Amino acid sequence: MEQKIFLNGEFVSKKEARISVYDHGLLYGDGVFEGLRSYNGRIFKLQEHMDRLYKSAKYICLDIPLKKEKLIETVIKTAHLNGYTDCYIRVVVTRGEGDLGLDPDKCSNPTIFIIVDKIVLYPDKFYKEGMEVITVPTQRNASHNLEPQVKSLNYLNNILAKIEAKNAGFEEAIMLNREGFITECTGDNIFIIEGNVLKTPPAYMGFLGGITRKVVMEIAEKLSIGVREEVISRYNLFNAQECFLTGTAAEIIPIVKVDGRIIGDGKIGNVTNKIRTAFKKLIEKEGTPYL
Ligand code: PXG
């Protein structure tokens, strides 16, 4: 079956899905997006992702020309038309076509597109044996520069950190804030287990508040695992019992080594495993059906 991409009110083929070189999404990274997943024909946390998209748009003064309910319907329809039971859904809204200047007021209509594609998974090895990551020199953007809660098309901050990790031979980077505290990774949030309590940085450290992060915190509470948002230093991280990352694409990835320090006993921990099992159960049964 041919892939159908939603682009500005129409469903087009991949070949026909083209946007202008004058689009400010491309010229300046001026736009917002969301990455969602579906499992068993159900879109996971659709409402939450769309809420975040509209909040990101509000922050950058971008009026999404579709009402949220209508965009939700359109996401469901696009997923339906593509027919995958398990897929990755990318929803993008750019400032639209303008001239070669920054001025967003010269862009008349925002560009909206929705891509539904097969999900590319991280290598199985990471989930079975855990992953090794490093902290990198590029700091996470400060909230007063480019608010990290805004899921904008300007991802160079994260891409630079990813390049630093890859240059050193690793797949993911832990980003620190200006004070040197842990914020998040390039596309995932971070958790540690310390004194049998699940800990993750508080929002004011400056990171994207992940939907998977919230789900994991809710799961931990249900499992009677203590959960706290707490400032995490590299010292806390190196001495943690367990560590894992969360994100829509990655789901839950155990971390067994950071900056050459073995975390816990270097194996995937019990708390991580318990949470992963509960997460798998949840994604199987929850979500908005589209097939
Ligand atoms: N931090 C950043 C900077 C992200 O981009 C997360 C945390 C995790 O948030 P969610 O809501 O997904 O739990 C993200 C999300 C991709 C891809 O294509 C990346 C994300 C989501 C989906 C796909 O690499 N990152």
Pocket probe for ligand 1: among 189, 200, 216, the residue whose CB has the most ligand atoms within 8 Å is: 189
According to the model, what pLDDT value does residue 120 have?
84
Let me know: does 87 contact 123? Beta carbons within 8 Å.
no
* CA-closest residue to ligand 1 atom 25: 187
Q: How far apart are CA 87 and CA 290, in angstroms?
A: 12
Phi and psi, residue 44, nearest 5°: -80, 125
Q: Where are the beta strands (DSSP E) in the chain?
A: 5-7, 10-12, 31-39, 42-43, 87-94, 111-117, 131-135, 173-176, 182-185, 189-194, 197-200, 226-229, 242-247, 251-258, 261-262, 288-289
Q: Give the model confidence (pLDDT) of 219-268 as tens digits.
A: 999 999 999 999 999 999 999 999 999 999 999 999 999 999 999 999 99
pLDDT score for 178: 97
124-285, superfamily in CATH? D-amino Acid Aminotransferase, subunit A, domain 2 (3.20.10.10)
At residue 1, the pLDDT reads 76
What is residue 122's predicted lDDT score, i.e. its pLDDT?
A: 86
Intervals of the chain under pLDDT 70: none
Residue showing tokens 């750019």: 94
pLDDT at position 121: 81
For the chain, domain boundaries = 4-117, 124-285
Q: What is the pTM of this model?
A: 0.97
Is-catalytic flag, 274? no
Q: String of b and e for 71-95 (b: at least 16 CB within 10 Å)?
A: bbebbbebbebbebeebbbebbbbb
Task: State the distance from the centre of ligand 1 to the C-alpha of 185, rounded, in angstroms.
Answer: 9
**For residue 156, which of 174, 144, 170, 138 has the smallest C-alpha distance?**
138
**Helix crossing, 270-285 with 211-222: angle to 10°?**
110
| DSSP SS3 for 237 | helix
Task: For domain 4-117, give the CATH number.
Answer: 3.30.470.10
Q: What is the pLDDT of residues 21-43, one digit of tens each?
A: 999 999 999 999 999 999 999 99
For residues 118 and 115, what is the distance between their CA atoms, to the nearest angstrom?
10
